[in-house]
Structure 1
Amino acid sequence: MKPLPWQKEVWATIAGSIREQRLSHALLLAGPDGAGKRHFAGCITAALWCRNLASDGSACGECADCLQVASGAHSGYFLVRAEEGKRDISIDQVRALSEKLTMTQYDGRAKVAIIEPADALNVNGVNALLKTIEEPTPGSHLLLVSARPQALAATLRSRCQRVRLAAPGRAIALDWLRNTSGGKHDDATLAAALDHAFGAPLKALQLLDGAGLAQRSDWSRGLVDLAGGRGEPATFAAAINEADPVGWLQWLYGWMSRLLRMRIAASADDDAAIVSLAQRLPAELLDRYIAEVQAMLAKVHGPADKKLLIESLLIGWLALLARAGRAAQNRPS
């Protein structure tokens, strides 16, 4: 398994650690969704077992161990995620993992556990994992994957070596999308997908493979329409709730963060109408609204009525625009 083109520099450091047998027991792979964190974790896992490493230290992808890693069937590999229908990774899952990590591999080689997303660990799960980190079994490695490392307990973050995996520059991302999508899409479509994925190539590729791109274009247009006095929040909320309420909230957080960036440094590739909208909105109001969206993200997985949460945020969006308008009127000329 090869690291993605924009991960080569980070990979060189990790590969050196593996080669010198000094890879940290606990790594925190942090970066935005769609930047390739999970892929990078797979590269580390495969490289620890591959019998025919490439010159850059990456796995060959063809030996028996590599094939077992790719299929998830390797005896020393463990993937921990929240169980279906659950929001959290439970303490029982962590305890079961810790027990597996204490067992010696029949061939004496490494054991690797990927925890994704690590911010889904509940408080008890974190405490149980800390014990495993503080008393590691020789040859075992924990790879914690998270797009929200700040949501992890400070006690857990401080015990992990952080590996930052950023999204690539736009030119690199577009080039990778062209090659990976096999020429099925023109550059304008690739650029739109990348915009709606907030620069994350793997997320953009996912949007191109389904109806996600059209859906996110509708969401963007819906917010711009509300800003222009068109459309009704309740109607828009009903459509979102029927389509993908959790996906919309995640997208909204990124879209609002992008507005904040556009206020400071819009690029030539940004949509002119959205740039104009961003420049109408004071940074402090956007910051406050983004915090509200983040709070709703924590609630959307629970028993709360998702449609009401969405309506509340859309009404909040209109209130933000109204406050921005009043602030502009009161500004000295």
Structure 2
Amino acid sequence: MVSVIIPNYNHAPYLNDRLNSVLAQTYQDFELIILDDCSTDGSFEIIRRYGNNPKVSHIVVNSANSGGPFHQWKKGIVLAKGDYVWIAESDDWCEPTLLETLVNALDANKNCVLAYVQTHTINDGNTILQTSAHNKLAELVPGKEYIKSYLTASCSIWNASMLVFRKRYFSNVSDRFTPFKMSGDWLFYIEMARQGDVFISGKVLNYFRNHDKDVSGKMYSTGKNYLEEIEILKILANDGQISPADYKSNLLEKFVRYTVHKYKFTAAVKGRIEEAFYSNGTASYKNYLRVNGTLKLLQIRAQRRLNMLFK
């Protein structure tokens, strides 16, 4: 059985699409756990309409906001009775075959800890903005290899709604992911992938919605995403998941990106970001990042000029 967890906060305009796309799955052996984090937009009026559906095992409404999405993840996973868990974000939706595709993959690969499909990113008008891709229709990747190739420089799993994971491995996942505002899923996937294989489907079966109430959008617009991305890199390095050289290389890539966009951020946030960049807890990286970051930016600008000349 699959435990489908829908954590909601102020996503009333999207809830019917989300719930109906779950209930319409071709794979029907699931329970539905609906969590509301003290919404103020009338979400509960929509949620309660589904209270008598036989698939719904729990509706839990917080009396106070939890302060972050990953506290809700943990609450739902603890309630889950299924062998598999799907965290179906409340503002997304999917094709009817998503669960069937991923459950079949997990059933066929007993050492697989999580499986995911590809996703469209869409806006409020359902226009496709971008689409994730994989170069194979299906692939099973050993966990350590997956972390190095797909979870170091960035998180290749764009959205929680595109994956299903095996619940029994959650007991070995630390609580370190819960305080994050945006990147807790990235750390969660790292800790899961340490324990087994990862299945990647090339099928595009998920719709990941970007809108003005999207947490990640607010993090990127303020620059606070860098604080969490740097923290993830530090955890990977401190846990021995990546080498010191890989840590420095990936930190440099983020620093260059930050340098290009930092004019958008407040002085207070820039101060916090630069403090995070320049120290990994044991040594200063100020000179390394400034010198190499400048060189990298010059190379990028020179390449752009060449591209313009030979267009």
- TM-score w.r.t. length of structure 1: 0.30
Q: Which has the higher strand share?
A: 2
Q: Which has the higher helix share?
A: 1
- TM-score w.r.t. length of structure 2: 0.31
